[in-house]
Amino acid sequence: MARGRSKIYCQRCMTANELGEELCLRCGTRLMLIVEPSGSRFEEGGVAGGMEEHLLERVTAIENMLTRFLEKIEQLADLFLRQSRSAQLDSALLDTLVDVLNDAGVIPRQKVENAWHERYLKESGAEAGTRTGKLCEKMLAHYTGTQRETFAPLVRKGFDLIESGKLAGGMRVLERAAALASDNAPLNAFLGAHFFRKGRTALARDYLTRAFDADPDNWRVRLLLGLVCGDEGEPERARKLLGEAVKRGGPSFAAHCALGRLAAAEDDWKTALAEFKRALAARPCPEAHYLVGLVYYQLARDRSALRHLMKAVELDATYGAALYLLGLVQLRLGERRRAAEAFDAARASDADEPRYAAARKNPARVAGAQPPSLFEGKGRGSRRVVTGGDDRLAAVLQDDALGTPTPR
């Protein structure tokens, strides 16, 4: 038996080859998984040892190769995860530094953001120029009106201003062009995406509606329109648009996160949980784990909430809302020391948030408290169902919906 398993027989000339060989030593034929020649099926005394033994040899060799391949994949995944954590920590550090400088009156935040935007446009250089050039030509190609001599210069001027760093001025010029072309899907979609990014959802809805009417098969326009309809108080239309966007373009964090938030706004936590799980599957990020953990907390499934919140803070140790909610879950589970550590970390991540300081000062008072709301928060858009309240969740949703992160 041992001798039979140590050889691989060529399916052509029946020569015995050592295990691990890819080519037959005698005739050069590539050794296959099935080593018994087709002619021997009807002959007596086939390969010594039986075909099953040779099949087992080849299966074993394939299993070894797959094992090594999976090990390499796991190493790559671990490397990507470490790089992602490092990038998130760097981003949090820079954001904190900008906040400190802004609060101290040294450098206004707006000045830093403008400088970063100019640097972004400068370094993107030729690539950005090529991309905007193609988009400009696409808009011109879709124009069907009678005022092309007016429309074309406006579009080109708008993109020239954008490429030179004058975003607001460029958009105003493109709005003038859009007034001449209400059925120009690329132009209206571009303007709608811009205003969605800026949080001006009413204006975004108007432009995206025009783009959708002109090009109803564009799943991304459908997705963005569904998001702004959710923010503008049209939940049923939003659900229909988002559901169709998923069917056409596939699952996305933005679509399922929005559907989950629409359900949560109606206290339908079971539906919200299902949608947030789909969002997590589409984009396994700390924000998605936080959303799932938040719903589990609402449903009093504390162990499940604990698992997802631990994953969220593992991916981002500075995620204040996730740390605070983790502390609430640990209090309900009777883990007071760990809850205090979570509240400490939450306070360290955002010293200005009063809930974090109060929780650390008197944990017993916050035991069983309501978790952070998805729909209440500081700053703009606090009443919006889809992008209101939590700025961090809104930023991730916007980046996912728009396809690529863009400067706000």
Residue pLDDT, tens place only, 358-384:
776 766 666 666 777 777 654 444 468
Domain count, the chain: 1
The verdict on residue 56 lying in a domain is: yes
C-alpha span between 58 and 350 (Å, rounded): 58
What is the band of 353 on the pLDDT scale with cuts at 50, 70, 90? confident
pLDDT of residue 379: 41
pLDDT of residue 108: 78
CA 103 to chain centroid: 31
Q: How many CB atoms are closer than 10 A to CB 249?
A: 14
The verdict on residue 39 lying in a domain is: yes
Per-residue model confidence as pLDDT tens digits over 69-122:
888 888 888 888 888 778 778 777 887 887 788 778 778 777 776 676 666 555
pLDDT of residue 73: 87
User: Which candidate, 306, 249, 251, places its Cα nearest to that of 284?
Assistant: 251
Per-residue model confidence as pLDDT tens digits over 25-47:
888 887 775 444 444 444 454 44
pTM over 0.85: no
pLDDT of residue 359: 74
pLDDT of residue 57: 65
SS3 76: helix
**pLDDT, the chain, mean:** 82
**Residue 6 sits in which domain range?**
2-87
Q: How much is the average pLDDT of 299-325? A: 92
The verdict on residue 81 lying in a domain is: yes
**pLDDT > 90: what percent of the chain?**
38
The verdict on residue 124 lying in a domain is: no
CA 355 to chain centroid: 29
pLDDT of residue 281: 93
The verdict on residue 63 lying in a domain is: yes
The verdict on residue 51 lying in a domain is: yes
Q: Is the pLDDT of residue 192 over 90?
A: yes
Considering all CA atoms of the chain, what is the largest pairwise distance in Å, rounded to the nearest integer?
Answer: 93
Q: Is the pLDDT of residue 50 over 60?
A: no
Compute the 3-state secondary structure of the chain and give helix, strand, coil in percent, each to the nearest 5.
70, 0, 30
Per-residue model confidence as pLDDT tens digits over 317-341:
999 899 999 999 998 888 888 988 8
The verdict on residue 103 lying in a domain is: no
pLDDT of residue 391: 84
The verdict on residue 68 lying in a domain is: yes
